[in-house]
Copies of this chain bind each other. A is one copy, B any other.
Protein backbone atom coordinates (compact mmCIF):
# COMPACT_ATOMS: atom_id res chain seq x y z
CA UNK A 1 0.00 0.00 0.00
CA UNK A 2 3.06 2.18 -0.25
CA UNK A 3 5.77 3.13 -2.72
CA UNK A 4 9.06 4.83 -1.94
CA UNK A 5 11.21 4.87 -5.03
CA UNK A 6 14.08 7.05 -6.17
CA UNK A 7 15.87 6.98 -9.49
CA UNK A 8 19.03 8.95 -10.05
CA UNK A 9 21.49 9.39 -12.85
CA UNK A 10 24.46 11.38 -11.67
CA UNK A 11 28.15 11.53 -10.97
CA UNK A 12 29.98 9.99 -8.06
CA UNK A 13 31.53 12.67 -5.84
CA UNK A 14 34.24 10.52 -4.34
CA UNK A 15 35.38 6.92 -4.12
CA UNK A 16 32.97 4.77 -2.13
CA UNK A 17 33.63 4.30 1.54
CA UNK A 18 33.10 0.60 2.20
CA UNK A 19 32.71 -0.95 5.62
CA UNK A 20 32.03 -4.47 6.73
CA UNK A 21 29.66 -5.06 9.63
CA UNK A 22 30.48 -7.72 12.17
CA UNK A 23 28.04 -9.95 10.37
CA UNK A 24 30.21 -9.68 7.28
CA UNK A 25 27.69 -7.54 5.46
CA UNK A 26 29.27 -4.89 3.25
CA UNK A 27 27.96 -1.32 3.29
CA UNK A 28 29.13 1.26 0.78
CA UNK A 29 28.43 4.97 1.02
CA UNK A 30 29.27 7.73 -1.41
CA UNK A 31 27.85 11.03 -2.61
CA UNK A 32 26.16 11.29 -5.99
CA UNK A 33 25.53 14.59 -7.74
CA UNK A 34 22.63 15.40 -9.99
CA UNK A 35 22.67 18.78 -11.66
CA UNK A 36 19.93 21.07 -12.95
CA UNK A 37 21.19 23.13 -15.83
CA UNK A 38 19.72 26.47 -14.90
CA UNK A 39 17.32 28.38 -17.09
CA UNK A 40 15.87 31.78 -17.81
CA UNK A 41 12.45 32.76 -16.55
CA UNK A 42 9.86 34.43 -18.74
CA UNK A 43 10.68 37.72 -17.02
CA UNK A 44 14.36 37.37 -17.86
CA UNK A 45 15.54 36.27 -14.44
CA UNK A 46 18.46 33.88 -14.66
CA UNK A 47 18.13 30.84 -12.45
CA UNK A 48 21.60 29.38 -12.11
CA UNK A 49 22.65 25.77 -12.41
CA UNK A 50 22.04 23.82 -9.22
CA UNK A 51 23.65 20.65 -7.98
CA UNK A 52 21.92 18.29 -5.61
CA UNK A 53 24.04 15.89 -3.56
CA UNK A 54 22.56 12.53 -2.60
CA UNK A 55 23.93 10.25 0.12
CA UNK A 56 23.97 6.83 -1.46
CA UNK A 57 24.04 3.72 0.72
CA UNK A 58 24.49 0.28 -0.81
CA UNK A 59 24.40 -3.09 0.92
CA UNK A 60 25.88 -6.51 0.40
CA UNK A 61 26.45 -7.45 -3.22
CA UNK A 62 25.89 -3.96 -4.50
CA UNK A 63 28.31 -2.57 -1.93
CA UNK A 64 30.93 -5.07 -3.05
CA UNK A 65 30.34 -4.17 -6.68
CA UNK A 66 30.74 -0.51 -5.77
CA UNK A 67 33.95 -1.25 -3.89
CA UNK A 68 35.40 -2.95 -6.95
CA UNK A 69 34.11 -0.83 -9.80
CA UNK A 70 32.68 2.52 -8.72
CA UNK A 71 35.05 5.46 -8.64
CA UNK A 72 34.91 9.20 -8.19
CA UNK A 73 33.62 10.84 -11.33
CA UNK A 74 31.72 7.82 -12.63
CA UNK A 75 28.25 8.25 -14.00
CA UNK A 76 25.74 5.93 -12.36
CA UNK A 77 22.10 5.03 -12.46
CA UNK A 78 20.88 4.31 -8.95
CA UNK A 79 17.45 3.07 -7.99
CA UNK A 80 16.37 2.77 -4.42
CA UNK A 81 14.39 4.36 -1.67
CA UNK A 82 14.56 7.39 0.57
CA UNK A 83 15.43 6.80 4.18
CA UNK A 84 16.03 9.38 6.87
CA UNK A 85 17.99 8.86 10.01
CA UNK A 86 18.84 11.02 12.98
CA UNK A 87 21.91 11.17 15.15
CA UNK A 88 23.35 13.48 17.78
CA UNK A 89 26.31 15.47 16.55
CA UNK A 90 29.41 16.23 18.65
CA UNK A 91 27.57 19.15 20.29
CA UNK A 92 24.63 17.02 21.25
CA UNK A 93 22.47 18.59 18.60
CA UNK A 94 20.09 16.21 16.91
CA UNK A 95 20.85 16.01 13.21
CA UNK A 96 18.93 14.43 10.40
CA UNK A 97 20.31 12.90 7.28
CA UNK A 98 18.45 11.63 4.32
CA UNK A 99 19.98 8.71 2.49
CA UNK A 100 19.20 6.81 -0.65
CA UNK A 101 19.29 3.08 -0.02
CA UNK A 102 20.06 1.73 -3.47
CA UNK A 103 18.76 -1.65 -4.56
CA UNK A 104 19.68 -1.37 -8.20
CA UNK A 105 22.69 0.14 -9.94
CA UNK A 106 23.78 0.67 -13.51
CA UNK A 107 27.25 1.80 -14.42
CA UNK A 108 26.94 4.29 -17.24
CA UNK A 109 30.55 5.30 -17.65
CA UNK A 110 32.72 3.42 -20.08
CA UNK A 111 34.53 0.70 -18.17
CA UNK A 112 38.04 1.61 -17.07
CA UNK A 113 40.97 -0.25 -18.59
CA UNK A 114 42.65 -1.05 -15.30
CA UNK A 115 43.70 -3.53 -12.71
CA UNK A 116 40.59 -2.64 -10.78
CA UNK A 117 38.12 -3.63 -13.45
CA UNK A 118 39.88 -6.08 -15.72
CA UNK A 119 38.26 -6.89 -19.03
CA UNK A 120 37.67 -10.45 -17.94
CA UNK A 121 35.65 -9.46 -14.88
CA UNK A 122 32.26 -8.00 -15.63
CA UNK A 123 31.54 -4.72 -13.90
CA UNK A 124 28.15 -6.13 -13.10
CA UNK A 125 28.23 -9.70 -11.91
CA UNK A 126 24.49 -10.10 -12.13
CA UNK A 127 22.01 -10.17 -14.98
CA UNK A 128 21.56 -8.04 -18.04
CA UNK A 129 18.88 -6.25 -16.16
CA UNK A 130 20.18 -3.78 -13.65
CA UNK A 131 21.83 -5.37 -10.64
CA UNK A 132 18.91 -6.47 -8.51
CA UNK A 133 19.77 -6.58 -4.89
CA UNK A 134 17.00 -8.87 -3.86
CA UNK A 135 16.15 -8.30 -0.25
CA UNK A 136 19.55 -7.15 0.83
CA UNK A 137 18.49 -3.66 1.91
CA UNK A 138 15.76 -5.19 3.97
CA UNK A 139 18.01 -7.74 5.52
CA UNK A 140 20.02 -5.33 7.58
CA UNK A 141 18.43 -4.85 10.96
CA UNK A 142 18.23 -1.20 11.92
CA UNK A 143 20.22 -1.90 15.04
CA UNK A 144 23.29 -2.98 13.18
CA UNK A 145 23.65 0.49 11.78
CA UNK A 146 23.38 2.49 14.97
CA UNK A 147 26.97 3.57 15.44
CA UNK A 148 28.48 2.04 12.43
CA UNK A 149 27.50 4.62 9.90
CA UNK A 150 27.96 8.21 11.04
CA UNK A 151 27.65 9.12 7.35
Question: Chain A interface (Cβ within 8 Å of chain B)?
Answer: 1-10, 34-39, 41-42, 45, 47, 49-50, 52-54, 75, 77, 81-84, 93, 96, 98, 106-108, 124, 126-130, 132, 134-135, 138-139, 141-142
Q: Which residues of B contact A50 (CB under 8 A)?
A: 128, 142
Q: Bound state CA distance, A124 and B37, in angstroms?
A: 10
Q: Work out how many copies of this chain go into the complex.
A: 4
Which one of A39, A96, A134 has the greatest number of beta carbons of chain B within 10 Å?
A: A39
How many Å lie between the Cα of A34 and that of B4 in the bound state? 6
| Main SS class of interface, A | strand
CA distance A127 to B132 in the complex (A): 16
